[in-house]
Amino acid sequence: MNMRADGATWLFDLGNSRLKGAWLRERELAQSFALAWDAPDFDAVLQVQLARWPGPARTLVASVVSDSRADRLRVALQTWPKAEVQWLRSPRQGCGITGYYRVPERLGIDRFLAMAAARETAHGGPVIVAGCGTALTLDAVDAHGAQRDGLIAPSPALMLRSLHGATAIAATNHDAFAQGDGDDTARALRTGCTRSATALVEWYCAQQWAEMGEAPVYLHGGWAVSLKPMLEENQRRARVHLLEDAVLRGLALWAA
């Protein structure tokens, strides 16, 4: 196993569904990977992956998970005891963004970093950011870098889980939903949950455009690909973009 310190910067995004990681090669993400928390042999696979990277001098971690899950990364990083490890919290100001939360740290660091990545992609202009993973998060930053009111709601996946636990109809069609096939009921569930999320994103965009003018919309997370064509159906004037690895990109900006 590679235990040397080669001066690399390692980046980790600890989300509700999976851990994502990359290291920085001249400010670009290198050898990025994603590993589901419930993956078989998670800890062994993580160690194998990290051993392929150049040794770290610094590690930046953005985490929204429980301590028990975060500890799995902490244990893995003990192989490189001399590396500086920073567990980040959202600042009042940073990466060109000024937050409005009374207690800045209460803003999820994943949301802050995704806003930073979107704003950098938009060359410092106003942006709307929709994260659609386990939860649906909606945030915006105006032309001056000020964070605007955000929203958090269930994602399509979480909506389905709620139906799955409360109704027999959803329970019998859960697998079909996840696989993207099935009979009319499965399609109704899939479309209803996705359309519900899309409608909230559209409403949020309309509110933000009315206040700060038209701004591009950046989508990230597991359900972003499903939401994008639906948003483009009714919001043709909006520039809707996928922003891959949004949190890791934000970590790269923080590192710089």
CA distances from 183 to 160, 173, 175, 220 (A): 16, 8, 11, 29
CA distance 222 to 227: 10
Domain 118-156+169-255 has CATH 3.10.580.10: no
Superfamily in which the 8-87 domain is placed by CATH:
ATPase, nucleotide binding domain (3.30.420.40)
Q: What is the mean pLDDT of residues 120-146?
A: 95
* One-letter amino acid for residue 247 of the chain: V
Selection from 96, 135, 142, 121 nearest residue 218 by Cα: 121
Residue with tokens 């963004």: 97
What distances in angstroms separate CA 245 from CA 32, 218, 254, one per listed residue?
Answer: 9, 12, 14
- Per-residue pLDDT at 170: 57
**Beta carbons within 8 Å of 118's beta carbon, 6+ residues apart:** 127, 129, 141, 216, 218, 243, 246
| Location of structure tokens 């990025």 | 32
Long-range contacts of 134-137 (CB under 8 A, 24+ apart): 134/15, 134/16, 134/17, 134/158, 135/16, 136/197, 136/200, 136/201, 136/223, 137/108, 137/110, 137/111
110 is catalytic: yes
Asked if 65 and 18 touch (Cβ cutoff 8 Å), the reply is no
The catalytic position among 13, 110, 139, 142 is 110
Residues 220-247 have pLDDT tens digits of 998 899 889 888 887 555 689 999 999 9
Output the average pLDDT for the chain.
89
Domain with CATH 3.30.420.40 in the chain: 8-87, 118-156+169-255
Q: What is the pLDDT of residue 192?
A: 86
pLDDT surpasses 90 at 188: no
Greater confidence (234 vs 123) lies with 123
Give the per-residue pLDDT at 166.
58
Give the phi and the psi of residue 163 in degrees, each rounded to 5: -65, -35
In this model, does residue 217 exceed pLDDT 90? Answer: yes
The pLDDT value recorded for residue 176 is 47
Mean pLDDT of 79-108: 95
pLDDT at site 224 = 92
| pLDDT confidence of residue 185 | 73
Phi then psi for 14, rounded to 5 degrees? -100, 95
Encode pLDDT of 141-184 as tens digits. Answer: 999 999 999 999 998 888 887 776 656 565 555 554 455 555 57
Measure the CA–CA gap between 27 and 5, rounded to whole angstroms.
Answer: 18
What pLDDT digit, counting tens, does each position of 191-203 carry? 888 889 999 999 9
pLDDT tens-digit map of 5-47: 579 999 999 999 999 999 999 889 999 999 999 999 999 999 9
Residue 115: pLDDT band with limits 50, 70, 90: very high
